[in-house]
Amino acid sequence: MIDFQTSPDRYRHWKLTSDGRVAILAMDVDERGGLSPEYELKLNSYDLAVDIELYDAVQRLRFEHPEVAAVILTSAKERVFCAGANIRMLGLADHGFKVNFCKFTNETRNAIEDASVSSGQHYIAAINGSCAGGGYELALATDYIVMVDDGNTSVSLPELPLLGVLPGTGGLTRLVDKRKVRSDRADFFCTTEEGVRGKRAVDWGLVDAVVSRGQLMEAAKSKAREFCRQSPRPADAQGLTLLPLTRRFEPDRVLYSNLSVELDRSRGLAHLVIRAPQAEPPSGPGVLSSIDHSFWPLALARELDDAILHLRFNEERIGTWVFQTVGDGKRVAQYDQVLLDNLDNWLVREIVHYLKRVLKRLEISSRSLFALIEPGSCFAGTLFELALASDRAYMLDGIREGREEQAAQISLTGMNFGPLPKSNGLTRLESRFLGDPAPIEMLSHQTGQEIEARRAAELGLVGFTPDEIDWDDEVRLALEGRSAFSSDALTGLEASLRFAGPETLETKIFGRLSAWQNWIFQRPNATGEHGALKLYGSGRRPIFDPRRV
């Protein structure tokens, strides 16, 4: 089983140090520290184990180091920055793992970019040696790239000429959309193995500056100080330590403090049941000082994040995730209000941005998403975002005979109207009513109201409202029908339908990742007996089928 939980005292591949406003995150990969003993992580090449630590470090820098306004990303090894994803690892991995690996590494790089945009914690790449493939893609995620100018150090994206594949962690998109590299130059750059170095790299926009080896860290620190002067990060705030999650793995369940994952492997289903907060939210003058790692919105974000990654990598045959909630929706709304009332606080902002990123991770997962809204549910505010993120939401109309229960209800809060945008930059309500602001305006006046099934359907908030006679059969048929379709076709269908509206850097990256990597990683030119990925390092040249279609 792949475990996504780690901490700095367990790192084998990264060294994190901070000195006031500037932190240094140095890549120092342990060659024998990969997920498998069948390959060595030479030249700071990486596998999932390396990126799990990187993701953890990025999270901790945001939560545990509010004083850090700039992070220098560099290498602790001599004359090598990063050789990219380990080729031997990719050659040995099955197709699903390769795609999931590329998706996770992209999400980690998105988290770096989000730290800059949302939190004022800027990243600088200090390239001290060869920087190839995924190594350059890591640098592309930063705000500023400075590179040694020594006649040897270069940046490159050699996946096409060397491996018959493409940069899998957003390299092509970031090159032209983010760095604004001219397309003819980008074409040359991506079709040459040796890459580009020195002044040409600056002139083409591949890096921002080149300096002598002895000046590299001072140049990086100088830029870091410049970013620090512009950053709203509080220099004197106390960070929040992210303690280990409380969780228990059982054969058909994963249990967290606020979430349980029930696995029905025979039907390919995972039921994710989220519990509303048990305690009232903190209030009064000391509300912010009482927020710790157990604060419900933060605890839930961490648990749901871990559960999504666990299901992606360790339960690949579970194709449909069903979201259910239990508890008091009013209590959920109270916690939402604490967040909304304190958005000027750095920690509260980080919690909201974390919830935003987890919901994005959910939507780009290659799984069918369903929400079941029943009596006793608490799909309110932030939790209603799960229903809006789902491919379908079913809401029971009325109550079940013979039970003393209140009819199912949903409610909206301010969290549904801005703080938690999708990857397309729109809220889920805006995406739902694309191009029509009138329903959004009307719904804004429904905030705080308890909305039952028929009214929810009239408002367009849910799609299906069976009564108790039809509920069990309609839900069962919907879930069973999902498992009868092609999983590949479903992945393409869902990815195409979930992100209506404007394209962004994120939607381009993940849309192309789903298409390119799902297809190209399976083609014989890459992974066949004579494919480039299989033969890399063997001394034999690949044999390509020249047909374009």
528 found inside a domain: no
pLDDT at residue 299, as a whole number: 98
The pair of three-digit structure tokens given for residue 231, joined into one six-digit string: 């950053």
Dihedral pair phi/psi, residue 271, rounded to 5°: -100, 115
Please give the DSSP secondary-structure letter assigned to residue 41.
-
How many angstroms separate the CA atoms of 74 and 27, rounded? 6
Looking at the fold, whether 139 and 32 belong to one and the same domain comes out as: yes
Confidence check: pLDDT of 515 > 80 = no
How many angstroms separate the CA atoms of 426 and 388, rounded? 12
How many angstroms separate the CA atoms of 335 and 333, rounded? 5
Which residue, of 172, 198, 230, is where some domain finishes?
230
pLDDT at residue 169, as a whole number: 83
Mean of pLDDT over the chain: 95
Q: Name the percent of the chain lying above pLDDT 70.
A: 99
Confidence check: pLDDT of 517 > 70 = no
Looking at the fold, whether 51 and 158 belong to one and the same domain comes out as: yes
The region of weakest confidence among 59-73, 275-289, 315-329, 381-395 is 275-289
Average pLDDT over residues 200-228: 98
Average pLDDT over residues 468-488: 94
Cβ contacts of 316 within 8 Å, gap of 6 or more:
96, 100
Average pLDDT over residues 458-477: 96
Q: Which of 525, 512, 331 is nearest to 411 (CA)?
A: 331
pLDDT at residue 168, as a whole number: 83
Tell me the pLDDT tens digit for each residue of 303-312: 999 999 999 9
pLDDT at residue 230, as a whole number: 95
174 found inside a domain: yes
Confidence check: pLDDT of 403 > 90 = no
Looking at the fold, whether 291 and 207 belong to one and the same domain comes out as: no
> Which domain CATH number covers 156?
3.90.226.10
Dihedral pair phi/psi, residue 120, rounded to 5°: 65, 25
Confidence check: pLDDT of 513 > 80 = no
Please give the DSSP secondary-structure letter assigned to residue 193.
S
Q: Please tell me the number of Cα atoms within 13 Å of 313 on its side-chain side.
A: 21
Which residue, of 166, 200, 230, is where some domain finishes?
230
How many angstroms separate the CA atoms of 142 and 139, rounded? 6
Alpha-carbon distances, residue 488 vs 309, 341, 473 (angstroms): 19, 43, 26
Report residue 45 CA to chain centroid gap.
21
Confidence check: pLDDT of 9 > 90 = yes
Q: Is 252 left (phi over 0), alpha (psi -120 to 50) or beta?
A: alpha
Domain that holds residue 271: 249-495
Helices H / strands E in the chain, number of each: 22, 19
506 found inside a domain: no
97 found inside a domain: yes
Alpha-carbon distances, residue 78 vs 74, 194, 208, 212 (angstroms): 11, 19, 22, 14
Report residue 507 CA to chain centroid gap.
12
329 found inside a domain: yes
Which residue, of 179, 203, 230, is where some domain finishes?
230
Q: Name the percent of the chain lying above pLDDT 90.
A: 85
Are 290 and 241 spatial neighbours (Cβ–Cβ below 8 Å)?
no
Confidence check: pLDDT of 108 > 90 = yes
Looking at the fold, whether 321 and 349 belong to one and the same domain comes out as: yes
The pair of three-digit structure tokens given for residue 421, joined into one six-digit string: 């945008």
Looking at the fold, whether 220 and 253 belong to one and the same domain comes out as: no
Amino acid symbol at 142? T
How many angstroms separate the CA atoms of 185 and 377, rounded? 55
Average pLDDT over residues 87-107: 91
Cβ contacts of 215 within 8 Å, gap of 6 or more:
none
